[in-house]
Amino acid sequence: MAGFKPLSEQTLMNNYVFSMVMREPKRIKPLLEYILGKKIKSIRMIEPERTMKEKFESKGIRLDLYVEDIDGVVYDVEVQTTDQKNLPRRMRYYQGMLDITFFPAGADYNKMRKSYVIFICNFDPYGEERYIYTFQNRCDQNYELLFGDDAIKVVVNTKGTKGEISPELKEAIIYLDREEVTGPYSKELDDAVNELKSNEERGQEYMMLMTYGAEQRAAGKYIGFVEQIRRWFDKKSPMPVKDAADFVGITVPQFEGVLSLIKEHPDWDDGEIADQADWRI
């Protein structure tokens, strides 16, 4: 498969590898404890790559790893290898999706669960070289006063060098960053990663998922083109076709082909138009 590295060349910082390896309580529970510096009684649910879609027409998300402990605390754990300069807002969105998905309409707000959104990054999004950045809402006039919404966001920087962390967390961070085995926990992770990468069935599944994901992204791009052309048509825009095609980012023949389909099939939605359009011209 051109463009995709096979599963055998991936590390624990790959979303698929992370979600598959960490689906076992014996691996994710210690990691959460090391990151948060607290004991967790027991894990009662782990869902790798959980898709979350709320009721409204907005962007859904797929969690790398969704975890619940026996006390009802929820944890969303994500691995990030690309700095898209939007980490705080992404974490805000993920937090909101957790609340919308798991808080029933009409329920007592005091029953809302404590939640942690944890992003493990192989880059430093804040430039302070810290291992851990922990964020909670506080009062500007009194920094000691917590807002008390029990929504906590944690960024783990595998490139960090500053801050007091436990030897166990440092071991985990070193393995996540450069696959070095320095103790029993990282050995457990390394064994699980190697077992996964040597599994032929999992390798085929991984490539299938990567291919499907690429197809879905391409489909979304084409639907976006159709949406823009439809707006140009519906608003009877005075912009010439050539300029409109340049603005959308496609060729004039592609633009005119989509426009013809919109006129010929007014009952088709944007997805149907995108499927039938010839994007090769």
Has residue 92 got a pLDDT over 90?
yes
More confident residue, 120 or 277: 120
More confident residue, 267 or 181: 181
Q: What is the average pLDDT across 65-90?
A: 93
Distance CA 120, CA 13 (A): 8
Determine what percent of the chain is predicted with pLDDT higher than 90.
62
- Whole-number Cα distances in Å, 126 to 68, 129, 159: 28, 8, 12
Do residues 146 and 137 touch, judged by C-beta distance below 8 A? yes
Determine what percent of the chain is predicted with pLDDT higher than 70.
94
pLDDT score, position 172: 98
- Please count the helices (runs of H) and the strands (runs of E) in the chain: 9, 6
Do residues 121 and 83 touch, judged by C-beta distance below 8 A? yes
Has residue 224 got a pLDDT over 50?
yes
Q: What is the average pLDDT across 208-222?
A: 78
Q: How confident is the prediction for the chain on average, in pLDDT?
A: 89
Has residue 2 got a pLDDT over 60?
no
Distance CA 21, CA 34 (A): 17
Of the pLDDT bands very low, low, confident and very high (cuts 50, 70, 90), residue 6 is very high
Distance CA 126, CA 278 (A): 44
- The helix or strand, by DSSP H or E, that contains position 109, with its residue range, turns out to be none
Q: What is the average pLDDT across 104-110?
A: 81
SS3 209: helix
Q: Which long-range contacts (CB under 8 A, 24 or more apart) does 205-212 make?
A: 206/6, 206/7, 206/10, 206/16, 207/1, 207/4, 207/6, 207/7, 209/16, 210/1, 210/4, 211/1, 211/4
Segment 56-75, tens digit of pLDDT: 444 556 788 999 999 999 99
Distance CA 20, CA 231 (A): 43
- Please state the φ and ψ torsions of residue 150, each to the nearest 5 degrees: 60, 30
Segment 169-185, tens digit of pLDDT: 999 999 999 999 999 99
Do residues 156 and 175 touch, judged by C-beta distance below 8 A? no
Looking at residue 161, its amino acid is: T
Do residues 281 and 232 touch, judged by C-beta distance below 8 A? no
Angle, CA of 157, 161 and 166, to the nearest 5° = 80
The neighbour count for residue 119, using CB atoms within 10 Å, is 22
Has residue 155 got a pLDDT over 60?
yes
